[in-house]
Every structure is written in C-alpha cells, then in structure tokens.
Amino acid sequence: MSTTAEHDALERARNTVDVDVGGTFTDMVMVVDGRTIFHKVPTTPYDLSICFMQVIEEGAEELGTTIEELAPRLDAVRYSTTVAMNRLIERDGPRLGLITTEGHEDAILIGKGAQWIDGKRLDERRALPLQEKPVPLVPRDMIVGVRERIDGRGRVIRPLDADDVRRKVRRLVDGGARGFVVSLLWSFVNAEHEQRVKEIIREEYRDYHVGHLPVILASQVVSRLGEYGRTMTAVLDAYLQRAMRAELSATWDKLRDAGYAGPLFMVHNSGGCADIFKTTAGRTYNGGPVAGLIGASDIARRMGAKNVVTSDVGGTSFDVGLVVDQSVRNYEFNPVIDTWMVAITMLQSMSIGAGGGSIASVNESLGRRLEVGPRSAGAYPGPVAYNLGGTEPTVTDADLVLGYINPDNFFGGRMQLDRDAAERAIRERIAEPLGLGTIEAAALIRRIIDDKMASAIRKEVVLRGYRPSDFVVFAFGGGGPTHVAGYMDEIPRAVIFPFSPVFCAYGSSIMDVVHVYERSHRMVLIEPASERPTDDYAGFNTIVEHLVNEARRELVAEGFDPEKASFALELDMLYGGQIHAKRTSTPQLFLESEEDVHRLYDHFEREFSEAFSPLIVNKPGGVYIDTFVLKVAVPGQRLQLEPIAANGRGTPAPKGTRRAWWPETGAFEQTPVLDLEPLLRSRGQLEGPALVESPYTTVVVPPGKRFSVDELGLGVLESNGQGG
C-alpha cells in the first residue's frame, strides 16, 4: 500500500480494528460501517499471531461475515503487544556485539548507581542482601572499544581507526555475534564515526549475504545526552528486534493472506501509534497500558472529570496511571524497561503483579503467611477452575467460590468454570495450612489482592502530591469492575464502561499517529543570581526549526500532509544545582520576545510545583534547558459516546439471584443479578448488594454502594451514604 493510501486510510478511518494482546486475554475493538464490536479471546503465548487472527475472525462472525470478506474493507489495523516484555523475561534474544569508544567498554556493566534496583518491586528493594545487578544482555567478552574520540561539541579529537574497527568486528563475529550495536561517545552531537563504523561492517559483511548481521546505531535510535541510557536503548532494540520481526511478520502475512491491504500501526508507549516500518522495538514496551491512559483522557474530557486514576485489572497485572487536568502529561522520570534504564520518552504507568490469574500461596518461611501474586497462572494453565491443568488457586478461583462470578456464563458463556475444583484447591492449599475455613480463605485472598491494588493507587496519587478525594477511578480490564469496590478506597467515585474489558483496545482506537523527535542541548533560560531571561532566541529557535523540518520531511515521506499535523514542544528543564530535569510542556514552539521566555518559565514553575513542591522552586539558582522534544501528531478517529436520555422505564428487573459472600455482613446472601447492557440503556440505578453481569466481566456492588448510570451511558459506583 502506498504512503498516500496510508494517509487516506487514517483520515477516512471508517472501518478499523484495534487489538491489544495481553498476558492472559487478547482484546479487540472493531468499527465497521458505524457498528462497534468488542471481543476477547484467550491469548496464545506460543504464537501471538494465532490469538490476533482469532479475535478478528470471531469479530467478523459477530458481524455476520467472514474475515476474508471483511479484511479487504478494513482501512487500518492497530496493534499493541506484550512480545517485547515477554522476550525480555525469557531472555531468549540473539547474541549481540557492542562497539563503543575505547576506554568505555564497561559503561553499561557499571550502569547507574541504583542499577541493582531498577525495575524491582518495593519488597525486592527492601531485601538488600538478596539484590544483585542484572545479568547483562551483552556479556563483557562481546563488548569492544574502538580507537576514536569526539568531544561534547562534536569536534573530532581522535580520528576513527578503520583497521582497528575491522579487527574488532571480526573478533565479535568469531565470538558468535548475530547483530551489532554501535554506541560511541557524543554521537548524538556528531554521528560521523558511528556511521563510518556501520559502513565498515557493511563492507565486510554485505546486506545480501546469507549471514546478514543487523547494525543498530545509538545515535539513530535516540539522539540525546546520557551514555548509559542511550546505549541500553539501542541494545534493547537490537535484542528484541528478531523476536518482534518474527511475530509481526507472521501476523502481517496472515492479514495479507486474508486480503487486508492497509497499514499495520503499532501502539507506542509515548502515547501514539506509528506504522510498523517506523517503529522500534523499545517503543512498543508497555503500549497497552499507555493506550488505556489515552482512552481515559479522552473520556475524562467528554464527561468533565478533571482528575482520573486509571486502573486496569487484567489476568496477570494491575496497571495504574494518572490523568491530571484532563491531560496525560506524566512521563517516566527515569524510564526503565525490565531492569534497564533507557533514554526514550515514555508515558508513566505503574504495574504490579496483581490480577485474576495471580496465584495465592502460603509462604512457610515467613511464618505461614498468605501471599497473592506476583506469580500468575496466565492464560495457560490458568486458574484451577479453567480445568486446563492449573493446580494453584488464583484470585479468579476465589471470586468464583465467593459467588461473584457465574460459572455457567464466564467469558460470554464460552467457558464453563469448575467451582468444585476451585474450592478444593483453596481448601487444600490455603485454608487447611492456615487453619481457616474455605470461604474465609477465599475472602482473605480477595482482600489481600484488593489491598495491594488500593495501595498501588494510593502511592501513585499521594506520592505525586495529589489528594485521592480529588480523583475518579476508571475501572477496566476483565477484573476491574469486579474488584473496584475493594480498591477505590479514599476515592469517592468509580466509573465503569460498557467496553471496560477491552478498554485498552478502545484507547488505541482513538490514538493519533505520533512521532517524537529529541535533541539534547544545554542552554540557559534564566540566568542565575540576576534572573535575567535569555535573549538567545535564535539559538533556541534554530534547534526547534531543525526538529520541525525533520518531522515535516518524514510526514511527507509517509504520505501525510504536514499542514494537518499538530506540533507540540516539550522541554526537559531544571533549576541550577539540580541533577534531574522535569519534562515541561511549552505554550509555543518558538521564542520571539522576553514575554515568551517568561511565559515558558511560568509553565515550567507551575508543572514543577505540581510534581514536587512550590517550596523547592529556585529561580535565583537559574533555569536551564537540557533537551528539546518535539511531538508531531496526525489526528485519528474518535468513537462517539452518545448521550442517553432517561426514558422513564426505570431499573430493569433482576434476571435472577445468586448466593454471594459479603464481608460487610459476614454471610452468604441471595443477591440480585442483572444484565449490564439493559441497565445502561435505561439509565437505571440500584443499591447494593447486587451483581451486574456482561459477557466479559461482572460489576460487584457491595452493601453500602450505589450503582447508577450517567448521561453518557457509563456506570458510576459510589457510596450510598449508608456505610459503603
């Protein structure tokens, strides 16, 4: 498909498919001829292209057609995947060779001062005697330093020794290198030597040779200050490239075989998506949770919610993010992928090992303490109740035993759950070792996982200087509506969506095509002591113009009209005497006057104060710019949430009752069961206890809570003032 056709497809965006492949389930949002289909299938971890195609095939069946008839009519397919995370966990990437500046061979092995705790859970960080640095992705014997040197201004201090490069490249090949990463000092200022190293490798090992070896240049992956972060970003991209290419090639081939002729967009952790041919492996890491953040910010604007906590309860993880002032603007302070700090721009979200598949176990070494997660049963073998070979009880098993889940209507009725097996596993593995009754043990499993999730939300909100009472919780994922009453804690309201189980796929369906361009350049904005604003407008504007021109060239090459794109500038800024910079949005792209400088500083001070404290604002110490970041977005489509008028029909009658355990009363009660869709359509309202079912989730409304429907057809869970 031509790039012009890709542009037309995005603008037309009439028929689209968005797929989010998670650790346990694969979710989809399909929009065809104005009709929207939400669907889920179990993830197939042995081959992710299988679940990808299966969810589209079943969506086509729901539309009354086949994938062969549907695929040629699709305009765009967007995809978020966990393959990057899975491959890192499994450590099955290729053997790489790293080429750096002579004398700096140990840089990524030394790492940052806290490398040993990067990416670790809080309980792991506290166990100091057990901590070790991560096993490097590139071992020391596969790292070589070449004779060359460029200084911080881009001047060549020591010319590149080509013969030295050839000798050391051959040594790496003899050592088993299946790819190269080239990361030389100050290459982001002057990439001449890195490019020459690549040319030498290509002279020795041609592209058309059977043993073709890919070459990744750090200056092309990320062009910013920070040797360790820049190098590790390039290493991770090279390490993940082969696995991602294999998965995406299989997916791409199956789509083409089905007749699809449009582009395949990948969801990025920067908050947008881009064509597969414009995507590096590291950009896909954590794409699903970021898509949920984007979807949440869009709905927050529509419903007038200022601050939102997003909470995604999947089968394997619990993902938390913040929308503040209806905007997603929190970036990872020191982005970490797995256990390595990287230098890419990533929207901030936090994940803990807590979900429906989280395994409950008794830790004998800690005095028979019950632990839930972070280990997960995943899609296979899954919870004991799935009868797929699982033997260890999970949160889903506990929910089933407590009566919250309908064993005959799980996963839209396509999966029958074995309540007796779940109860037996909880009794034998949890209740008896702890001297508890089975129901008491199941309730304890649920309480522990809810407390874990509430604690994660509390930390994410409070540690960023906000009050929980100023937020609304968006509950999504298959387990969000089921558990939100237990983890909303100090937050007064929770919102539940008709598409909660596939919310991250919904988020990707409204994503813009986004490219990010970065350039590190230190300049003074406010001089120390005198507080005099800079008058170097030309220096500032030259850098921005360079980034804008680069972006416009790429947009044209991809078939997009630059005039229809939005350009936003963000700056990494800091006060004098500080080490770390704060990412700040800017009111305009260019500086033309002293008033523009003051306006830029005011934005920085406000965002700095919100993120940290107004008490540590230090304008007399000077204000500095470290890095320029240009974000370019081509708008995508927006699904419409149509207002629903109260039609006077009232709350639909329950379709039946089910025995459910309520900690508030300490007993099982016959609890009304309703269907979610008619309840939303009628804008009904009910008081807990109640269970509200949809094909892929159950909303648990405990005593003391009220479930109502707002004018957009969204469910709202809040206290009814009677102790909930």
What is the tens place of the pLDDT at every residue in 384-428? Answer: 999 989 999 999 999 999 999 999 888 777 888 999 999 999 999
Alpha helices in 71-181 (DSSP H): 83-90, 107-110, 122-126, 162-174
What is the rounded CA–CA span in Å between residue 254 and residue 271? 27
What is the rounded CA–CA span in Å between residue 40 and residue 62? 12
Please, what sign has the CA dihedral across residues 79, 291, 695, 23? positive
- Most distant CA pair in the chain: distance in Å? 84
- Residues with Cβ < 8 Å from 694, sequence gap 6 or more? 498, 500, 501, 675, 676, 677
Two tokens, residue 705: 């809570």
Level-2 CATH architecture, domain 3-87+245-284: 2-Layer Sandwich (3.30)
What is the rounded CA–CA span in Å between residue 173 and residue 165? 12
DSSP string, 630-678: EEEEE-------------S--SPPPSEEEEEEETTTTEEEEEEEEEHHH
Name the amino acid, one letter, at 8: D
**CA separation (Å) from 73 to 9, 60, 69?**
11, 12, 8
Q: What is the CA radius of gyration of the chain?
A: 27
721: part of which helix (H) or strand (E)?
none
CA distance between the termini of the chain = 56
Please, what sign has the CA dihedral across residues 192, 193, 194, 195? positive
Would the pLDDT of 10 be above 50?
no
**495 exposure class (CB count in 10 Å sphere: 0-12, 13-18, 19+):** buried
pLDDT of the residue at 9: 45
Beta strands in 135-179 (DSSP E): 143-146, 149-150, 156-158
* pTM of the model as a whole: 0.81
Q: Strand, coil or helix: what is 476?
A: strand
What is the rounded CA–CA span in Å between residue 308 and residue 472? 5
The rounded percent of the chain whose pLDDT value lies above 70 is 93
Would the pLDDT of 692 be above 80?
yes
Q: What are phi and psi of 76, to 5 degrees?
A: -155, 145
Long-range own/partner contacts, residues 287-290 (CB < 8 A, 24 or more apart): 287/80, 287/81, 287/508, 288/20, 288/21, 288/22, 288/80, 288/81, 288/82, 288/319, 288/504, 289/319, 289/321, 289/349, 289/351, 289/504, 290/321, 290/346, 290/347, 290/349, 290/507
User: What value, to the nearest 5°, has the Cα angle with vertex 124 and ends 120 and 130?
Assistant: 115
**557 exposure class (CB count in 10 Å sphere: 0-12, 13-18, 19+):** exposed
- Domain(s) of CATH 3.30.1490: residues in the chain: 513-634
Would the pLDDT of 534 be above 50?
yes
pLDDT of the residue at 1: 41
Would the pLDDT of 519 be above 50?
yes
For residue 72, whether the previous peptide bond is cis, meaning omega lies within 30 degrees of 0, is no
Q: What's the pLDDT band for 442 if we cut at 50, 70, 90?
A: very high
pLDDT of the residue at 724: 47
What is the rounded CA–CA span in Å between residue 574 and residue 584? 10
Nearest to 621 by CA among 578, 581, 576, 579: 576
**157 exposure class (CB count in 10 Å sphere: 0-12, 13-18, 19+):** exposed
Fold of 513-634: Dna Ligase; domain 1 (3.30.1490)
Contact 629, 517 (CB under 8 A): yes
Beta strands in 218-263 (DSSP E): none
pLDDT of the residue at 723: 54
398: part of which helix (H) or strand (E)?
helix 395-401
pLDDT of the residue at 87: 67
What is the rounded CA–CA span in Å between residue 333 and residue 579? 12
Residue 114 DSSP one-character state: T
- Average the pLDDT over 341-369 and give the result: 84
* Dihedral angle, C-alpha 189, 194, 195, 201, nearest 10 °: 180
Beta strands in 439-500 (DSSP E): 472-476, 493-496
Contact 74, 262 (CB under 8 A): yes
- Residues with Cβ < 8 Å from 244, sequence gap 6 or more? 81, 83, 84, 87, 281, 284
User: What value, to the nearest 5°, has the Cα angle with vertex 20 and ends 16 and 26?
Assistant: 110
- Average the pLDDT over 648-654 and give the result: 73
pLDDT of the residue at 14: 73
Would the pLDDT of 550 be above 50?
yes
User: What value, to the nearest 5°, has the Cα angle with vertex 697 and ends 360 and 439?
Assistant: 40
pLDDT of the residue at 248: 84
Q: Which of 274-288, 306-320, 460-474, 535-549 has the lowest mean pLDDT?
A: 274-288
What is the rounded CA–CA span in Å between residue 267 and residue 285? 9
Would the pLDDT of 13 be above 80?
no
pLDDT of the residue at 2: 41
**105 exposure class (CB count in 10 Å sphere: 0-12, 13-18, 19+):** middle
- Average the pLDDT over 365-384 and give the result: 84
- Domain(s) of CATH 3.30.420.40: residues in the chain: 3-87+245-284
- Average the pLDDT over 327-355 and give the result: 78
Beta bridge partners of 369: 363
Beta strands in 47-165 (DSSP E): 76-80, 97-101, 143-146, 149-150, 156-158
* Dihedral angle, C-alpha 257, 258, 259, 261, nearest 10 °: -80
**CA separation (Å) from 512 to 80, 326, 448, 507, 552?**
14, 17, 38, 10, 16
Q: What's the pLDDT band for 222 if we cut at 50, 70, 90?
A: confident
Would the pLDDT of 641 be above 80?
no
pLDDT of the residue at 123: 65
Would the pLDDT of 349 be above 90?
no
Residue 704 DSSP one-character state: T
Nearest to 520 by CA among 624, 631, 627: 627
* Dihedral angle, C-alpha 434, 435, 438, 444, nearest 10 °: -50
Two tokens, residue 282: 């590291």
450: part of which helix (H) or strand (E)?
helix 438-462
Beta strands in 396-491 (DSSP E): 472-476
Q: Which residue has the higher pLDDT, 362 or 647?
A: 362
pLDDT of the residue at 4: 47
Two tokens, residue 142: 């596969």
Mean pLDDT for the chain overall:
87
- Average the pLDDT over 106-119 and give the result: 80
What is the rounded CA–CA span in Å between residue 140 and residue 151? 25
Would the pLDDT of 49 be above 70?
yes
Nearest to 76 by CA among 687, 634, 707: 634
